[in-house]
Amino acid sequence: MYNNNPTLENLGDKVIQEDKQGDVFYQEQMQGKEGGKKFYIESYGCQMNFSDSEIVASILNDIGYVPTKNMEESDLMLINTCSIREKAEDTVRRRLRIFDKVKENRPGTLIGILGCMAERLKTKLLDQEKLVDLVVGPDAYRDLPKLVATAEDGDKGINVILSREETYADISPMRLGSNGVSAFISIMRGCDNMCSFCVVPFTRGRERSRNAFSVVAEATELYQRGFREVTLLGQNVDSYKWENPETKEMVNFADLMIMVAKVSPDLRIRFSTSHPKDITDDVLYAIRDYDNICKYIHLPVQSGNSRVLKLMNRTYDREWYKSKIDRIYEIIPDCAISSDVITGFCTETEEEHQETLSILEYSNYSMSYMFFYSERPGTLAARKYEDDIPLDIKKRRLSEVIQLQNKISRAHNQGDIGKTFKVLIEGDSKKSDQDFKGRNSQNKMIIFPKKPGYQAGEYVQVKVNDATSATLFGDLIEA
């Protein structure tokens, strides 16, 4: 799952970091049909990819495949990919070569690549590199049964056609590797924002939103199964828009959040990701007015300089973004805001880099995902601009951003010392089974000693007594 470590240089490093922690293999061993075939899946990149893997798992389960954590006993090895950075693609290729070695010892095993990288590279992975038997784009997962059958017959299976309608709204995801407390709900797919550095519109297609009632039904079903937190996912959730075919009433993102929040006051609502140009006051008022909608917004800035933002086609400038930050804190004073930052974008000067540093301080981000610019083939930036900032300068600027964000995060967290927060217990701390971990409404991880009688999925009050730049530490306060 997503690692909130703000010091990771790029997505490739994030994947490797999570691999060490054991979180990148987002799957669980399921009791399935005796003698059934087994599939193994790894997921990389954004939360949407992990959500998609749960859809894939459900589709495969319907044709008799059950998941396994052991790739060496699998009949089908899949990797759900990300194309947002070159290093992420390099990581996937390394994993595919490992898959290939496993296949040598298990003839008949199929290897498939899913998601954004599959769509972007298409036949190259099949014919030139000969690393896979299946290539399936993010809108073609329903076609998996046929593609798997084709590959089993010795032919190559490929479908990377993008759709203007597909939302997988009728498929109940198999909750892979779930802690039984938190779950993703995909509310929309695709992106209409043509940010010049981003490959997503080309790999995931145009925006389309799910039926609002199907989202509420999924949230209700999760709550009834014991889940206590859902994250509403989309490339740009604030542009969610669905028309009720019977009443012709339009449901926007603020409306949808409130509908889900009303499932139960004990069901927490999170969401990701917001585009600054689309987040409305109605969304902010919904967050303010409903205690179970978390007081946390991920609002990527990318750059603090207006000229660079224009080159990025972000559709806002520095002052407009600052006014949006002001508005969030005005309506939700206790809100935590996080961000994405890119250093070394085409033609960025030192003075413009300094403006990025200053907007981190102005916004007082609780944390950020920080990267240096990586040119992606097919994007507007790759076609129009020269990637002219030397790598050493990109890395040095990134290091300065990381150092400043760590300083801000540390001060942000130290400001919570002495405060008491409502925390949802997610399970054992990674470092000790004597401690619980859980997050507060502001999405901050809190570690606290266990006490008898408490378990994952319960809400508790925790008083913070210490903090680092990444984590809060406290003690459970019994009622």
Q: Model confidence over 229-275: pLDDT tens digits?
A: 999 999 999 999 999 999 999 999 999 999 999 999 999 999 999 99
The tokens 């040119």 sit on which residue? 375
pLDDT tens-digit profile of 26-71?
A: 333 344 444 579 999 998 878 888 899 999 999 999 999 999 999 9
pLDDT score recorded for residue 193: 92
What's the helix, strand, coil split of the chain in %, to 5?
Answer: 35, 20, 40
Question: What pLDDT does residue 12 have?
Answer: 33
Task: Give pLDDT tens digits for 300-313.
Answer: 999 999 999 999 99
385 vs 195: CA distance, rounded Å: 13
Both structure tokens of 361: 């301080």
Span 76-118, pLDDT tens digits: 999 998 776 777 778 888 898 899 899 988 888 999 999 888 7
What does the alpha-carbon distance between residue 103 and residue 98 come to, in Å, rounded to a whole number?
9
Distance between CA atoms of 58 and 401, rounded to whole angstroms?
A: 41
pLDDT of residue 46: 82
Buried b (16+ CB within 10 A) or exposed e, 117-131: bbbbbeeebbeeeeb
Q: Which helix (H) or strand (E) holds 340?
A: strand 336-343
| Alpha helix stretches (DSSP H) within 84-196 | 86-104, 116-121, 123, 144-152
CA 295 distance to own-chain centroid: 18
Q: What whole-number distance in Å separates Cα of residue 234 and Cα of residue 251?
A: 16
Taking residues 349-372, what's their average pLDDT? 98
Q: Helix (H, G, I), strand (E, B), or coil: what is residue 356? A: helix
Q: What is the DSSP letter of 265?
A: T
DSSP 3-state of 85: coil
Q: What domains sit in the chain, N to C, each tagged with a CATH number?
A: 11-159 (3.40.50.12160), 182-414 (3.80.30.20), 420-477 (2.40.50.140)
Which pLDDT value is given to residue 451? 95
What does the radius of gyration of the chain's CA atoms come to, in whole angstroms?
Answer: 22
What is the predicted pLDDT for the residue at 116? 82
Mean pLDDT of the chain: 89
Q: Provide the token pair at 74.
A: 């699998």
How far is Cα 316 from Cα 309, in angstroms, rounded to an integer?
7
Residue 416 pLDDT: 98
- For every residue of 162-190, DSSP letters joined together read --SS---TT-----TT--SSEEEEE-EE-
